[in-house]
Amino acid sequence: MRSCVLVLFLSLPTAVAAAAQPACPAPKAMRFEVAGQVRRSDLAFTEGLEFHDGALYESSGDLFGTSRVERIDPASGKATVLYDGGHKYFGEGLTIFGGHIYQMTWREHRVFLRDMKGAALREFTNPREGWGLTHDASRLIASDGSDHLFFLRPADFSTSGSVLVREGNTPVSQINELEYVNGAVYANVFETWRVLKIDPASGCVLAAADLRDLHTRLNEADRGIIDAEGNFVLNGIAHDARTGLFTVTGKYWPLLFTGRFVEP
């Protein structure tokens, strides 16, 4: 009952805020065209995923494993552990800005600034839960599982603003892993097969894709792994600016899929 009361309390100001803004246009139907796949050398509870200098960088949570920062060769799938935090915290969103790795934690309110080898340089405080993390040219952009995106100052992780994410005039909650590409934020919606393309200025969902087809591309053994545990959901979006390809995956998925998001 406590959680029901909390949801009601939080949804009222959100509904008022949504009603006070012009409705967003209906989102376009977007699809993910698979161009390739690679089998990773180990499994991880993927929370953050990002391309940098030709490699994938990943932050993982400590459910069914440990909280790590890894570098993955996108050609071979070989993962190299840069830092293993064990069970001291639950690793969440990750992004690389200014030559440093920012790694959030889930409920511990800790944010680690790391060098590119994974060593911690500094620690910040996050006033919210940590879910997804990305950046534009000057700001970090984070999600906390709600229906908002938050804009943060890289120097100290302080909040400079936020935007309500909406489809039409309906707020969209459970915004999770993020990737900023060409002026838009791509976001997983937690515990769904959906990826949204969001305008960070207005919060409007510009396009939406259903990636359920990826499940059929897994072989029987791989499907058995992810179907055996409800937590092994789609999560992880990275974009390689050199090729224009995205990489998507899920928590404890054996495969990384590459491809393009295509709009009509």
| For residue 164, pLDDT beyond 80 | yes
Q: Are 29 and 207 in contact (CB under 8 A)?
A: yes
| For residue 173, pLDDT beyond 90 | yes
Domain CATH code at residue 57? 2.120.10.30
Q: Which residues of 42-69 are buried (b: 16+ CB within 10 A; e: fewer)?
A: ebbbbbbbbbbeebbbbbbbbbebbbbb
Average pLDDT, the chain: 94
- Under the banding of pLDDT at 50, 70 and 90, the label for residue 17 is low
| For residue 120, pLDDT beyond 70 | yes
d(CA 70, CA 221): 24
SS3 at position 160? strand
Short-list 199, 236, 185, 229, CA closest to 214:
236
What is the structure's pLDDT at 3?
A: 36
What is the structure's pLDDT at 18?
A: 60
Beta strand 148-152 pairing with 159-164: antiparallel
DSSP element (H, E) containing 101 = strand 100-105
Q: What is the mean pLDDT of residues 78-86?
A: 98
Q: How many C-beta atoms lie closer than 10 Å to residue 224's C-beta?
A: 10
d(CA 148, CA 81): 32
The pTM of this model reads 0.93
Reported as half-sphere exposure (CB side, CA atoms, 13 A), residue 39 has a value of: 6
C-alpha distances (whole Å) from 217 to each of 69, 168, 177, 238, 248 are 27, 32, 22, 19, 13
Give the range of the structural domain holding residue 15, as residue numbers without chain letter.
2-262
What is the structure's pLDDT at 4?
A: 40
Q: Cβ-count burial of 125 within 10 angstroms (0-12 exposed, 13-18 middle, 19+ buried)?
A: exposed
Q: What is the mean pLDDT of residues 154-176?
A: 97
Count of structural domains, the chain:
1
Sign of CA dihedral 54, 233, 154, 135: positive
What is the structure's pLDDT at 13?
A: 57
d(CA 21, CA 201): 13
C-alpha distances (whole Å) from 91 to each of 50, 65, 82, 111, 252 are 14, 11, 13, 9, 14
What is the structure's pLDDT at 253?
A: 98
